[in-house]
Structure 1
Amino acid sequence: MSKIMIKTLSALILSSLIAGNCSRSNSGSPVSLPAITEVTCDSIVTPPVLLSVTRLFTIKDQMVAYQERNDTLFSFWKLPECQLLYSAGIRGEGPDEFLMLERNFQETTQGFRTFELQTNRIKDVRITEEGNLDVISDYQLPTNLSPLNRFLFLADSTYCFVSTDDAYEFTLLKKDGTTHNFGAYPTHLLKEETDTPNRFVYNKLTVAHPSGDKFAAFYAYTGLVRIYSYTGELLKETLLPTKETTEKDEKTIYYHLFPYATDQYIYILNQQEDIQTLEKWNWEGELISRYALNHPVSSFVIDKEEKRMYAVSKEREDCIYIYQIN
């Protein structure tokens, strides 16, 4: 087969993936979109302290709100009551203080692990019985690379972030300080410009499996989902149906809020015209369920039993929304 025929065949295959009415995985088998289930929320009125929540995450039976614009960075809430317990965490450069943090937090036996963007430092935080935050480990990463955007904690003491090399999607930082670039960009899915790096064209949101043995990437402007192993192997990819846009040059937004991961599933919000839907994916890259929310939310967590979603909205500072999703 000639090189021209090979290129033509490749272009036809790519066009059929983009224009089709069903998702396709890297194995080529079609994946149907599940029907949307409408769900309504209950709401719990709280003290007006949930201002500009950057990220929600859970620790044992508590929900934690990280609010990077506040002087006190974290508020802790008892679940399922959604009762405010205390606020803690001071902005600053002191021993138990924090500068701007990445949005991926990892639960530990004593509290949580976080990554400080401005200093390339990993901090292990212990939550005391008195409600204080003690930094018990402050580790400087062995790299001069910066910024480390979309930073993930992976297995075998490795870390992952978006690559600044325009030929690759991600960089893997190993425990010995060496780096490995991996992941080919899905070129030609979006309009590309010579003066715009691929990492901006193919902006993505990432989340790691709690074990760290794999992670998922959801692309902001195209309905592409990829699952990678912690060593950089592409395990699965799924392409969603193309959305229609009202304006010719308008960017279509698929995902713009950070996903939340459990051992079994990944949850992420998708804007469907005027309806916000919660998508439930498994770690094999399959879309399992879709839920239409009756109230827009800006950050959320899923409880340990995966029966409820706790969420907040930028529209209200004194309310937590609870959706039954199982």
Structure 2
Amino acid sequence: MNKPVVPLTYEQLDQWVESLQPLLVEENFACVVGILRGGAPLALMVSHATGAGVAFLRYTRETREVRWDSTLPMPEPGAKVLVCEDIAGRGHTLVDCIAFLREHGLQVRTLTGAYDDLSRLRPDYSIDASGYFALFPWERQAYTDRYRADWVREGTSEGARMADDHEYAVYAIDLDGILLPDIPLARYDEDLDGALAERDALVPFERIPDIDLKHARAIITGRPELDRERTQAWLDRHGFGHLELVMRAPGEHDESVQGAATHKAAAAVRCGVTHFIESDPVQAIFIAQRAPLLRVIWWNAQARSGTLIGASAWG
């Protein structure tokens, strides 16, 4: 997991499958077979693109057992099927599933979201992620500390099991506009010392975003690093001192909207969180662009409501 990450969104994968549509239709597959669970989204995309029926295989990593897990009957021997998986990795999943289908007399072609330099085989259709770690939207939690610890434990301890995906949710939150009111920027220009003293005297909002703070790891703020001492004092005073405080380094990111958003996106990825709550809607859009698999929520403190943000380039 020390490789640079290539995030692949649902939209990117859908467009990639659509670009393959003429070739996939020409193959005339009897059905598309997704390996549960990572191969299921791709199998459904291919099914919609080609009109072929969709079926599934269930693979047990510990025993390397493959089972047909579908209401559709297995195609007759000699039929051609397309097996879909998210990654052609160094493990045995894809190899074992191909062998299972060939043992039943089927012609097998393969499609994976990505392959890399550790892959046991190169699929017929795949995105080259050699030298990178391909991260899929259904495994956005893979970079949290708890997920990685459980993954190692499951692979080395008998009886150890992964938790459900949603249990790995980890939050980071913005500070101003989330825990306390924003001071208008003009106030800082008019009287910096007075504005800072006014900010220090503010009390937290009566209602903050409806998350359990035990699932929050960090406060990621656009405040500059030189404000750390007084910011930490405010957090300690109001019961938020247990959260890691990540502040902007002016030499790396300026105080502009895009500079602050770039800082927050990079810090959220570095902290290994799955969700980030931001008070400024424009910054939320930029953060979503820069960290496409991060769940970015714009929190409107006045309306006391949150909006999930997605941002893709257009034009």
TM-score w.r.t. length of structure 2: 0.23
User: Is the helix fraction higher in 1 or 2?
Assistant: 2
Larger RCO of the pair (alpha carbons < 8 Å, separation 6+): 1
TM-score w.r.t. length of structure 1: 0.22
User: Is the strand fraction higher in 1 or 2?
Assistant: 1
